[in-house]
Chains A and B, each alone.
Chain A
Amino acid sequence: MDKKYLIHAMGSIAWGYVFFYLAINLGTIDILPDWVLFVMVVRALEPLSEVVHSAKLLDPLGILLGVLYGFQWLFKVVGHPIQWYLFTVIVSVLVLYFNFQLLTNLAEVARKYGYPEEKKILQLRTVQAILTTVAAIPLPWEEVGYLYFGLAIVHLVVVAWICVVLFSLRKKMSLAYDAPAEE
């Protein structure tokens, strides 16, 4: 496989995360919709799965989540946001797994190419999964608002860090790819 496809895939995934975690609203329209992450990841899975085979397993899940988030976005645009708790529970669980496996696979890519980002990605993945799970526990968050606020801040930092690490990994791979060509 040409490594440039893998580098492009890494970039797509990093940008996908930016779309997923950033929300810029114009009225009811989120101009950075979440479903973009799944579109970009699904497109990036093919080169990724040539390095890490299990990445291919994310394909149907990515499509499913893309469709679910697409519907959610569409309903919000037309002014009828989906507020079914059952839907939220299923989607939250799927997203947690999706993120966890995707980051595990990306760490595997970093490991195979000998980049130190592997450990960082795995650590961030673990922290993110734990934070998401803790936030789902129905504690009396209103009474410990500072704790919830703290969790939110940490989550924000972790998410930003994930994006930074992914872009950094992509950049390193890209530089390594370009270097022999220049020589």
Chain B
Amino acid sequence: MTGIWGFLLQTLYVSLVGGLLLVVKAIFRDKLTPRWQYGVWSVLALRILIPVQMTWKYVLLPLPLWVETARILADHALPEVLFVWLYRLYLMGVAVFLAGYLFSYFRLGRLLKRGEAPSAELTQQISAVAERYDLNPCKAVIIPGLTSPMVCGIIHPVLAVPADAPLDDHVILHELLHVKYHDALQNVFWSICRALHWCNPLVHYFVNQIGNDMESLCDQRVLERLEGEARRNYGLSLLAMSNDRYPRAPGTTSISNGGKNITRRIEAIVRFKKYPKGMALASVCVTVMLMCGCMFPTIQPELTYRANVDGGPWNNAAALAELNLNRCATPAGAFDTYAKGLQRCDQQWLALASPEAKKQEILKGANAYIGMENGIRHWKNEIETGVGLTVYEVKDREVKSTGKKADIWLSQSSYELYNLVLQEDGSYTALLTFFFDNVQTLDGDLLCCAPTADEICAVATYPVRVWQETGWVLEETGSPSLYLLNGLDVHTFLYELFPALHIYYGEGNTGSVFCRLWTDCSLEVPDGYWEDAISFSTQYPCPDAEFGMYMENELIRFTYSGTENQRQSLFQAGMQVQKVNEDGTVPVFEELPDTKEWTESSGGGKAAWTNWRGEDWHGICLNGGGGSTTPEEIVFPLGYAAQIWLNDELAETIILKEVPPNG
């Protein structure tokens, strides 16, 4: 967010932080010393210096969301040029304020040059005070008409004193302390802050308070150097100036800052000895905590204003503002948000997980409804999800294309993440996979229906890629597919027919071995994050979900190639499979018990085996295995080695090599 809106956000945050500091300072007025009372303004200084980021996280209050919402509403109600001119007006104001400060600073400089040289007594008095309190003396100038003494200048400060009033030692001490702690320079900084926020009356108020606190701190420093009666006299000196008019210009400090403020300073002086002792650490801790609370965006706005909900212009604009501000914080969050956007035809969620170009396309269409008279939101560019799926039918344990396309409702499905792979460029590819117990077309026709709600009649897949833009975004990388299972058990479909990530194949003297490898991954959602109850399976997305259990699955099948007679002569057939080594060499197999003692099959350990013993073997050894890992750690094997055992003897070892998925 830039221009006038960026400034508005910044100045609102400055006001908020300044207000918070005023509240806390008021509570600690009699508990923490003037040193803290002035020092804590450093939190405001940092807030002014560090621009507020328009991130999806916010500080203290969701001001970015409110400002962005106001911007969207204003963009629709008022001409854009108005905001351009408002920003120019703001910049001109800053320039005028800075020019005014420079002008007054140089005018003061001229005035000082025309000033009279101090008397020898005054010079001696200043030197004596400086020597007594171990401070650097300061050049002095007599300015006729000046009501109270002041220090002017940053590099070579000069003590300007009134012409017709004797100068008290305490007052000189006060001004020399201003010089020692470079208060005039600090005053320049605060004046620049005032200029940057010239149109915010609160900032003017804060800077005035800061000036007063600076004087109180200087009083404190004076009192720390005085004893007994001298302290009372210092208070009297201040009281004597309570009716004075006081000068205030950048690069200057003046002991007199108005009757009301001097009253407060006198009160602080009275409290000088009454502040609780040993509070230095508490002062630092309180300041650090305030700084952390006021500086770091830690709160994540929720997707409160969901799309497709009729909520009036403000809520509609807020929904768009959320889109502009939110990002998917994790790759898993992008998968979850996009998948649930597809299921719910929710453009807000889809846009949230989409690359900037597509997101803007959605926003462009979404903006169109703002300002509709009936207050009901209708997207201009309606997005229908579940469109254009290529339909495949599963028949006789084979997937066959029907040559047709279908537009279906995804809302009745549940989804899972299959074949998730971390690519070399840091992106993730996967198949968003939807499972249906019934499939309805957008026209209302029923494509398939499982006998019970627990069974699956169809599976849809969307090949997708997720990468990091500002946040994590997702794009579809291929056309979606719909598999009608025609009564086949979904687990059989997944193991035997579902698009594999890797396929391995090898041939030997006894037969061939075929291996399919795919992965599935669950997501973990931070508990209690959303206001609605949420879990992986619920309908609301979680843009900062994490990958959960990541399973690597294998199906390995040995098909015997011997003749019918040879097959019938077998009383035992078994297969033991293990991944080849990283350099492709045959691994050392685990020592296994005699094949007579093998159980039917096992996927545990490094090797998986399957065994048959009996009569009339059907000629196939099938083994399913796998293990859990993470998308970052998984290493897909170069191949597999399969030991084939026939009639309790090792017949051969077949090496499986990767083949193209359609090979």
B-contacting residues of A (Cβ < 8 Å)? Answer: 53-54, 57, 61, 64, 85-86, 89-90, 92-94, 96-97, 100-101, 104-105, 122, 126, 129-130, 132-133, 136-138
Contacts and interface: CB of A to CB of B under 8 A. Distances in A.
B278 interface: yes
B129 interface: no
B23 interface: yes
A50 B238 CA distance: 33
Nearest to B293: A89
Contact of B28 (A54, A89, A97, A130): A97
B285 A137 contact: no
B289 interface: yes
B31 interface: yes
A136 B288 contact: yes
Given A57-B30, A89-B20, A126 B281 contact: yes
A49 B272 CA distance: 18
Interface residues of B, number: 30
Contacts of B294: 89
Given A85-B60, A101-B31, A138-B292, A90 B24 contact: yes
B60 A86 contact: yes
B60 to A, nearest CB: 5
A94 B20 CA distance: 12
B285 A96 contact: yes
Contacts of B292: 136-138
Contacts of B275: 54
Contacts of B298: 85, 138
Contacts of A129: 281-282, 285
30 contacts: A53-B274, A54-B274, A54-B276, A61-B31, A85-B60, A85-B298, A86-B60, A89-B289, A89-B293, A90-B20, A90-B23, A92-B289, A92-B293, A93-B286, A94-B27, A96-B289, A97-B32, A100-B281, A100-B282, A100-B285, A101-B282, A104-B276, A122-B278, A129-B282, A130-B285, A132-B289, A133-B289, A136-B289, A138-B292, A138-B296
Interface string B284-322: 011011101110101100000000000000000000000
A137 B294 CA distance: 11
A158 B32 CA distance: 25
B49 interface: no
B95 interface: no
B279 interface: yes
B132 interface: no
A12 B435 CA distance: 62
B404 interface: no
B97 to A, nearest CB: 30
A136 B436 CA distance: 47
A85 B299 contact: yes
Given A57-B30, A64-B27, A130-B285, 6 more contacts: A54-B275, A57-B276, A86-B16, A89-B290, A104-B278, A138-B298
Contacts of B281: 100, 126, 129-130
Contacts of A97: 28, 31-32, 282, 286
B281 to A, nearest CB: 6
A91 B16 CA distance: 16
Contacts of B27: 61, 64, 94
Interface in B253-290: 274-279, 281-282, 285-286, 288-290
Nearest to A130: B285
